[in-house]
A = this chain, B = another copy of it.
Amino acid sequence: MARPAPATHHELLTAAARRFAVTGYKGTSLQDIAREVGCSKATVLYHFASKDALLCELMAPAITMLEELDARIATHTGAQAQRVAADGFVDLAVRFRREIALLRGEFPDLLQQPAFAHIQEISEHLIAAFSGFSDRPEARVAALVVLAGIAETCGEFLDIPDDQLRTALRAVAYRALEVST
């Protein structure tokens, strides 16, 4: 035994991502993850302080990219912000297919986590930008349909190459949000 620690650490992360995407966070036990890697449950808890900590480390890159997108949107206004938000979120969703699907699937519960506290807020910014900063209910409904639809779709279409999925998602988002081109 006693492989180099970084290798095991990384294996555990990817195995957890795989399992979480299929059976959800609550539906995946530490035993499941350990079994997939071929180590004991105690090893999982040697590498990660807790199941929550494992989730946080797993989501960190996606959350960082989400925060960067949020900051980028804030530097634009009107239709330009709408386009930046749509393009940016499509890029993010395609890049982090599994993580986004997981986040969306168990949204209400996982948001309690302190590390995810401000995701709700960023989602509001995204919806505002998507809707073209309109208060009309129809615009806000359309924004949420696009946001949730993209997130969910990425998690399921694992057989389509990245750039093709990106192009298709951008097209449908532009139509749904009536982005001026």
A binding-site residues for B, Cβ under 8 Å = 22-24, 26-27, 104-106, 108-109, 137-138, 141-142, 144-153, 156-157, 160, 164-165, 167-169, 171-173, 175-176, 178
Contacts and interface: CB of A to CB of B under 8 A. Distances in A.
Contacts of A22: 108
Contact of A142 (B26, B106, B148, B168): B168
- Residue in A105, A142, A145, A150 whose Cβ sees the most chain B Cβ within 10 Å: A145
Given A149-B148, A165-B141, A171-B138, A23 B108 contact: yes
Contact of A169 (B141, B165, B171): B141
Contacts of A171: 138, 142
Copies of the chain in the assembly:
2
Given A23-B108, A105-B105, A156 B144 contact: yes
B109 A138 contact: no
A168 B169 CA distance: 20
A175 B146 CA distance: 12
A128 to B, nearest CB: 15
Nearest to A161: B137
